Amino acid sequence: MEDPLMAKNGGEYGATSSGDPLTSSPDPLNDNNSDYGVGAGAGIDDDDGDGDDNDGSEVREGTPRRRRPPSADHFAGDGDFAPLSLSRHKRQHSFLRSESIKNPGSVALRKTQSSFWEDAREFREGSVPQSIVVALAVGVVCGVAAFIYYQILFFLLDYLWHVLPQKYVVGVWPENLEVLWIALIGFLMAVLVGLSVQVMGEPGDLAYTIKCVHDKAYISMSHVLPMVAASQFSILGGGSLGPEAPLVAICAALGGHMSRKVFKQKNRNVVRKHTLMGMAGALSAFFGCPLGGSLFALEVNSRFGIEYFEHMIEAIFCGEVCVAVFRALSGLPIDAIWTIQTPPLASASPFQLLVGAFIGLLGAGIAALFSAFHFKVMDIFDYFGLLDNRIAVARALLGSVVIVGLGMVVPHTMFWGEWEFQTVATMGPASELDHIWPTRGLFGFEMDTWGRCLIVAFTKLVAISFTVAGGYRGGFIFPFFAAGAAFGRAFTIWFPSVSVSLACLSFAAGINVAITRTSLATPLILCYLAGEQNAISGVLAASLVSLFATSYMPFIKTQIVRKDLDSSLFYLAEDEPLVHSSSEANLEQQKKQQEQADEEEHEVL
3-state secondary structure of 572: strand
Distances (CA, A) of 502 to 191, 289, 362, 469: 40, 20, 14, 32
Contact 327, 289 (CB under 8 A): no
- What confidence score (pLDDT) does residue 37 get? 43
Instruction: Say which residues have a Cβ less than 8 Å from residue 38's Cβ, sequence separation at least 6.
Output: 205, 207, 378, 468, 469, 471
Q: How far apart are CA 413 and CA 240, in angstroms?
A: 7
- What confidence score (pLDDT) does residue 569 get? 52
Q: How far apart are CA 59 and CA 66, in angstroms?
A: 19
Q: Do domains 128-330 and 350-549 have the same CATH topology?
A: yes
Helix, strand and coil content of the chain, in percent to the nearest 5, comes to 60, 0, 40
- What confidence score (pLDDT) does residue 122 get? 85
Q: What is the pTM of this model?
A: 0.80
Q: How far apart are CA 396 and CA 106, in angstroms?
A: 61
**What are the average pLDDT values for consecutive 10-residue runs of the chain, which has 605 residues?**
36 33 35 41 43 52 43 36 43 52 50 75 88 96 96 96 95 93 97 96 93 93 95 96 95 96 92 96 94 96 91 96 96 93 90 96 97 96 93 96 96 95 95 94 94 97 97 95 97 96 97 96 96 95 96 88 64 49 54 63 49
CATH 3.90.1170.50 fits 128-330, yes or no: no
**N residues, the chain:** 605
- Domain locations in the chain as residue ranges: 128-330, 350-549
CATH 2.30.30.100 fits 350-549, yes or no: no
Q: How far apart are CA 439 and CA 70, in angstroms?
A: 57
DSSP code string of 186-230: HHHHHHHHHHHHHHH-----HHHHHHHHHHTSS--GGGHHHHHHH
